[in-house]
Amino acid sequence: MKSEPEKPEPSGKRAQPTRKIRESAALLPLLGIFLLLTPLISAFTQDSFTGGIPKAVSYIFGIWIGLIVLAAILARRLYNSGDG
Amino acid sequence: MQSFNLLVSICLLYVAALFVIAYVAERGVQEGRLNFLRSPVIYTLSLSVYCTAWTFYGAVGSAARSGLEFVAIYLGPTLVFVGWWWFLRKLVRIGRTQRITSIADLLSSRYGKSNTLAVVVTLLAVIGTTPYIALQLQSLTLSFFVFTGGSGEGTSTPFASVTAFWVAAGLAVFTIVFGTRSLDANERHHGVVTAIAVEAVVKLIALLSVGIFVVWGVASGPADIFERMDQDLLQSSQIFNGRWVTLMFLSAAAIICLPRMFQVVVVENSNERHLATASWAFPLYLFLMSLFVLPIAIAGQSELPADANPDLFVMTVPLAKGQGTLATLAFLGGFSSATSMVIVAAIALSTMMSNHIVLPIWLQLNKKRSPASDDVRTLLLRTRRISIGVVLALGYFYFQITGGSDALASIGLIAFLGVAQVLPALLGGVFWHSATRPAAIMGICTGFFFWAYTLFLPSFDGAFILSQSVIENGPFGISALRPQSLWGNSFEDPLVHAVFWSISFNTLVFVVASLLTNPNSMERQQSAQFINVYGRISPSSTIARNAEAEELLILAQRILGRQEAMNLFNQTAVSQGKVSGLPDPTQPFVEELERKFAGSVGAATSHAMLAQITGGESVSVEDMIAVADETAQIMEYSERLKTQSEELKKTAQQLRAANSQLLKLGEQKDTFLSQVSHELRTPMTSIRSFSGILRDSDSLPPEKLKHFSSVIHTESIRLTRLLDDILDLSFMENGKVQLNIAPVNLSEVINRAATATETQLQERSSELLRNPASEQIKVATDSDRLAQVVINLVANANKYCDAEPPQISVSCRRNGGTVEIDVADNGSGVDESEVELIFQKFSKLSGGFFVGSAGLGLPISREIMRNLGGTLTYEPGGAGALFRVTLPLEHTEPASA
């Protein structure tokens, strides 16, 4: 009895995030380009150190791993929603 | 220091292990076991062919020379993979649906299966890849020298060339054995891919090990390592410059366009979902590969003498610290990088060369013969093996000629830009409907020319084609044409200069030429298939081809192999509903065959072969006309549907109107019935009561008796008359009345009426005024019925005229083809609001007009006139009531009710 009224809900709910996720997946590289390929990068890469590591290194590698994590989350969501 | 022999033995053991892995993987997948080899992990690891020896060793060298710049080479691919949803997904989908075998095949297939384009791209790929293979050979020999105590400068010694030769030969054998085992329909090489995945792991472990050793073995942690850093190394305030953007662009383009990358990303992809995993896993791999690059470079700079080659820091740092095993591992990592790149590149190039150059030439030479008459399969495999040998030989000779020079060291980025020239045509092909084949060829050639002129040829420093003076002063001393600063434009960096000009001109020519030329029918078809690849549109199927099934079978056997061809044909025959024998060579079947063949020999060749058998191009003018006809038919059909639906709408409207009329009629009928029963009730009541009195009382005086029975008699007569009237009216309304049409003089009719109403008139001492002269009109009609109408009108006038004494006038008049009879009185007439009511059955007007009458006289008269083809109307505006009878001179059938 319980499963029946619940049935339409997931499909209706899923349609919304999938679209958002697809759009996010499409926009992620633009975010990467904005952070890595614009003069923005110079603002964060002055000659200084944080925790013994040059800021430039931590900035670039930080953005890099951030993109990877986001891509992994999105890929998983896309894969699970059957749209991979 | 390891001895040379030990090193060679390690290499041989390693290669032998790879052989075994590749063999086991190949067998396992064929037998359906080891399905994990099709997993996304293997796919991701195989993508690591991007990291060649040039990146394995060279990244550290680049970091030592120019700081963080090396990261751009990895960030470009990261952005492309993170954005897989945009482009790579579409590319892989196209590759799977169109059974693409190489980047040349993809472009040729998109641009109308053009072989010319395929040849251009193949040549470009060979020219761009050969130096790259040479670079791998150079890195390998260099790394050998590190262990054998050489300085790394002596790569042009005979010993070096012998080493390079054996390496090249060994790689050729490995590639031939595992790269050309079969003409697998999808050109997937599980053995090779698995071996490459293993090599990817070795690379990663080697570099991570050296990195960890450097950070925590040589130094005491990340902070310590960066403490040792030369302050000028990072130049971090200038990270963002033209070169940074250019390197990102180049590496992003390379990950798509490099033949070997295309091979692993698109051709070897067995499941689109693997791409989703690779979208983050491959960037992660690159991330890990570059994590320790900077520390190793810093360690090399601070620990080793100043003249040490930074390109070899990965090995020389552990060696200097006495870590022989670690250095050997690093050596194996470099060895893996070089071999995996060479193997995949050789497979990709050999596929292109055999499919797009050798096979078309062979087809051309054997134009007269059907391609089915020779064993294409054997020919293809042999061609591929020879091509692999040729590719490696080219690489080896290139290495021999330029070995050790700086020209080779910088060839990595130069090769990137070379193959990046296909990018505009590729992007245009996948996203732009108007991109055409001539434009693609012209764009690529333009880009190729600028690339060669501004970057490739100057890289030889005047040793090849362009002399030193031309490079410095321009051809014929024209400084505007100096290869490294065209039009006097001085970019700080020759690479940025070359990228800017070659890609700009390439794109410009491509776009302009696309706008100026028109795609042919095949291009249109293919562009639709490519651009709408997610839409699953099916190709048009109206194109007729005439082919013999036997010939097709023979050709299929030659290309696909006997067993697979038989299976395919049997399946098709069954799906066509045939119990035995060969399937009909229908269009869908031929198209399926073409796609299947394309998986082995490429789209252009496959198309050409089938065209040779089936005779002619796939799309002729007649076919187009047929398609157009079909469209016209569809349009006509839809037009018909539209009119039909309009008709239906009209009919429905009529039905609705009829229905409402029926409802009204039904209502009228009900009213009529209730009125009739009411009218019958009144006489019935008096008859019943009087007959009751007669029955019950025995002692009635005779005069009473007489009175009562006469009342019963009168009421019975009234009842009979009422029933007669109703019957009459019902007949009239149904048009069932029998008419005796005969010529008659109106005066006769009116005479009869006057006679019939004489007694009534006398009762009220009314006066009937006539005009005998006007009555002399002959009409063809039913005189009895007409007289009935006139009697009724006169009687009505006599009965209801409220003047004393009543005067009733009857006058006749001819009016064109009709005759009018007016019956008027001198009373007050009928109130205008009640005119319509008096013609209704059983009307009782408020003014007591019809009191005491059955009220059927006027309706019956009106029905009689309708049956006679005339009308009966009330004419308002006169002094008294005026009824006008209009009837035609000649009798005509009445309009139906």
pLDDT for the residue numbered A50: 67
For B29-72, the pLDDT digits (tens) are 777 766 666 788 888 888 888 888 878 888 888 888 888 888 88
Specify the pairing of strand A53-54 against strand A49-50. antiparallel
State how far the Cα of B556 lies from the Cα of B212, in Å rounded to an integer.
55
B259 and B388, same domain (yes or no) = yes
For B191-205, the pLDDT digits (tens) are 888 888 999 999 999
Alpha-carbon distances, residue B648 vs B334, B641, B651, B652, B653 (angstroms): 80, 10, 5, 6, 8
Most confident of A17-31, A36-50, B96-110, B414-428: B414-428
B311 vs B420: which has the higher pLDDT:
B420
Average pLDDT over all residues of chain B: 80
pLDDT for the residue numbered B367: 65
Of B221, B275, B284, the CB nearest to A68: B284
Answer for the pair B341, B132: CB distance below 8 angstroms, yes or no. yes
State how far the Cα of A69 lies from the Cα of A66, in Å rounded to an integer.
5
Closest CA to B101 of B254, B255, B269, B253: B269
Residue matched to tokens 């220091």: B1
Asked if the model's pLDDT at residue B826 lies above 80, the reply is yes
Answer for the pair B341, B258: CB distance below 8 angstroms, yes or no. no
In a domain, B314, yes or no: no
Residue matched to tokens 């003047």: B803
Closest CA to B341 of B131, B106, B85, B102: B131
B268 and B402, same domain (yes or no) = yes
Count of alpha carbons within 13 Å of B397, Cβ hemisphere only?
5
Closest CA to B823 of B781, B853, B847, B791: B791
Answer whether B294 sits within 8 Å of A65, measured CB to CB: no
- Token pair recorded at residue B856: 């059927």
Q: Which residues in A lie closer than 8 A to residue B78 (C-beta atoms)? A: 32, 64, 67-68
A-interface mutation test, from B41, B70, B73, B79, most A Cβ less than 10 A away: B79
Answer whether B79 sits within 8 Å of A29, measured CB to CB: yes
Answer whether B82 sits within 8 Å of A51, measured CB to CB: no
pLDDT for the residue numbered B842: 64
Asked if the model's pLDDT at residue B405 lies above 50, the reply is yes
Answer whether A52 sits within 8 Å of B222, measured CB to CB: yes
Report the percentage of chain B scoring pLDDT > 90: 8
The CATH number of the domain holding residue B773 is: 3.30.565.10
Count of alpha carbons within 13 Å of B528, Cβ hemisphere only?
11
State how far the Cα of B61 lies from the Cα of B23, in Å rounded to an integer.
36
Count of Cβ atoms closer than 10 Å to residue B428 Cβ:
23
How distant is the Cα of B211 from the closest Cα of chain A, in angstroms? 16
Answer whether A29 sits within 8 Å of B276, measured CB to CB: no
Answer whether A56 sits within 8 Å of B287, measured CB to CB: no
Q: B537, B557, B584 — which closes off a domain?
A: B537
In a domain, B217, yes or no: no
Confidence of residue A69 (pLDDT cuts 50, 70, 90): very high
How distant is the Cα of A30 from the closest Cα of chain B, in angstroms? 8
Count of Cβ atoms closer than 10 Å to residue B637 Cβ:
10
Confidence of residue B600 (pLDDT cuts 50, 70, 90): confident
How distant is the Cα of A34 from the closest Cα of chain B, in angstroms? 11
SS (H, E, C) B433-472: CCCCHHHHHHHHHHHHHHHHHHHHCHHHCCCECECHHHHH
pLDDT for the residue numbered B847: 42
The DSSP annotation for B803-849 comes to SSS-EEEEEEEEETTEEEEEEEESS----GGGHHHHTSTT---TTST
Closest CA to B817 of B889, B743, B734, B723: B889
How distant is the Cα of B599 from the closest Cα of chain A, in angstroms? 24
State how far the Cα of A7 lies from the Cα of A13, in Å rounded to an integer.
11
Beta strands in B424-580 (DSSP E): none
In a domain, B241, yes or no: no
The CATH number of the domain holding residue B645 is: 1.10.287.130
Of A54, A60, A71, the CB nearest to B279: A71
Q: Which residues of B touch A (CB under 8 A)?
A: 68, 71, 75, 78-86, 221-224, 226-227, 229, 231, 234, 236-240, 244-245, 248, 272-273, 275-277, 279-281, 283-284, 287, 291, 294
Mean pLDDT across B218-228:
80
In a domain, B303, yes or no: no
Answer for the pair B733, B897: CB distance below 8 angstroms, yes or no. yes
State how far the Cα of B209 lies from the Cα of B646, in Å rounded to an integer.
80
User: Which residues touch B439 (CB under 8 Å, ≥6 apart)?
Assistant: B425, B428, B509, B510, B511, B512, B513, B514, B516, B517
Nearest CA in chain A to B80: A29
State how far the Cα of B437 lies from the Cα of A62, in Å rounded to an integer.
43
Q: Which residues in A lie closer than 8 A to residue B247 (C-beta atoms)? A: none
Q: Which residues of A touch B (CB under 8 A)?
A: 22, 25-26, 28-30, 32-33, 36-39, 41-42, 45-47, 49, 51-57, 60-61, 64-65, 67-72, 74-75, 78-79, 84
Bond preceding residue B805 cis, omega within 30 of 0: yes
Closest CA to B333 of B198, B199, B133: B199
B72 and B114, same domain (yes or no) = yes
How many secondary structure helices (H) and strands (E) does chain B include? 36, 7
Answer for the pair B67, B235: CB distance below 8 angstroms, yes or no. yes
Mean pLDDT across B747-768:
84
State how far the Cα of B295 lies from the Cα of B263, in Å rounded to an integer.
33
Query: DSSP alpha helices (H): ranges in B697-782?
Result: 702-734, 746-756, 758-763
Count of Cβ atoms closer than 10 Å to residue B118 Cβ:
28
B410 and B433, same domain (yes or no) = no
State how far the Cα of B17 lies from the Cα of B14, in Å rounded to an integer.
5
In a domain, B216, yes or no: no
User: Which residues touch B635 (CB under 8 Å, ≥6 apart)?
Assistant: none
pLDDT for the residue numbered B462: 66
Confidence of residue B827 (pLDDT cuts 50, 70, 90): confident
B189 and B337, same domain (yes or no) = yes
Closest CA to B215 of B289, B146, B143, B293: B293
State how far the Cα of B806 lies from the Cα of B816, in Å rounded to an integer.
32
How distant is the Cα of A81 from the closest Cα of chain B, in angstroms? 12
Answer whether B82 sits within 8 Å of A29, measured CB to CB: yes
Of A28, A42, A60, the CB nearest to B82: A28
Report the percentage of chain B scoring pLDDT > 70: 85
Answer for the pair B83, A29: CB distance below 8 angstroms, yes or no. yes
pLDDT for the residue numbered B154: 46
For B459-517, the pLDDT digits (tens) are 776 666 667 776 677 777 666 677 776 776 666 778 888 888 899 999 999 999 999 98
Answer for the pair B176, B381: CB distance below 8 angstroms, yes or no. no
Beta strands in B464-522 (DSSP E): none
Mean pLDDT across B114-133:
88
Answer whether A38 sits within 8 Å of B240, measured CB to CB: yes
Question: Which value does ipTM take for this structure?
Answer: 0.82
B478 and B411, same domain (yes or no) = no
Q: B357, B380, B415 — which closes off a domain?
A: B415
- Token pair recorded at residue A4: 């029946």
B403 and B502, same domain (yes or no) = no
Count of Cβ atoms closer than 10 Å to residue B135 Cβ:
27
pLDDT for the residue numbered B613: 67
- Token pair recorded at residue B643: 């009119």
B614 and B657, same domain (yes or no) = no
Find the length of chain A.
84
Could you give the number of structural domains in chain B?
Answer: 5
B610 and B463, same domain (yes or no) = no
pLDDT for the residue numbered B273: 84
Answer whether A29 sits within 8 Å of B229, measured CB to CB: no
B571 and B432, same domain (yes or no) = no
Answer whether A32 sits within 8 Å of B78, measured CB to CB: yes
Beta-carbon pairs below 8 A across chains A and B = 115
pLDDT for the residue numbered A80: 65
Of A32, A54, A79, the CB nearest to B79: A32
Mean pLDDT across B83-88:
84
pLDDT for the residue numbered B620: 54
pLDDT for the residue numbered B631: 74
A-interface mutation test, from B237, B240, B249, most A Cβ less than 10 A away: B240
- Consecutive H or E run containing B635: helix B621-696
Q: B514, B537, B560 — which closes off a domain?
A: B537
Q: Which residues in B lie closer than 8 A to residue A26 (C-beta atoms)? A: 83, 85-86
Answer whether B83 sits within 8 Å of A57, measured CB to CB: no
Nearest CA in chain B to A60: B71
Of B234, B240, B276, the CB nearest to A78: B276
Amino acid identity at B274: H
For B650-690, the pLDDT digits (tens) are 999 999 999 998 998 888 788 878 877 877 887 888 888 88
In a domain, B298, yes or no: no
B-interface mutation test, from A48, A67, A83, most B Cβ less than 10 A away: A67
- Token pair recorded at residue B188: 């997937």
For B1-22, the pLDDT digits (tens) are 456 778 888 888 888 888 888 8
Question: Collapsing DSSP states into helix, strand and coil, what is residue B767?
Answer: strand
Answer for the pair A30, A6: CB distance below 8 angstroms, yes or no. no
Of A51, A52, A64, the CB nearest to B78: A64
Closest CA to B790 of B754, B836, B814, B765: B754
Range name among A50-59, B166-175, B207-216 with the lowest pLDDT average: A50-59
B676 and B768, same domain (yes or no) = no
B25 and B141, same domain (yes or no) = yes
Most confident of A14-28, B231-245, B768-782: B768-782
Find residue A54's DSSP bridge partners: A49
- Token pair recorded at residue B488: 């006097």
Answer for the pair B203, B289: CB distance below 8 angstroms, yes or no. yes
Phi-psi region of B221 (alpha: psi -120 to 50; beta: other; left: phi over 0): left
Mean pLDDT across B442-454:
90
Nearest CA in chain B to A38: B240
Find residue B745's DSSP bridge partners: B778
State how far the Cα of B363 lies from the Cα of B381, in Å rounded to an integer.
16
Of A57, A67, A78, the CB nearest to B294: A57
Mean pLDDT across B593-620:
69
State how far the Cα of B473 lies from the Cα of B207, in Å rounded to an integer.
44
State how far the Cα of B83 lies from the Cα of B80, in Å rounded to an integer.
5
pLDDT for the residue numbered B158: 66
| Residue span of the structural domain in which B691 resides | 626-731
Cα(first)–Cα(last) distance of chain A, in Å?
Answer: 33
Question: Collapsing DSSP states into helix, strand and coil, what is residue A53?
Answer: strand
In a domain, B569, yes or no: yes
User: Which residues touch B558 (CB under 8 Å, ≥6 apart)?
Assistant: B371, B372, B374, B375, B376, B377
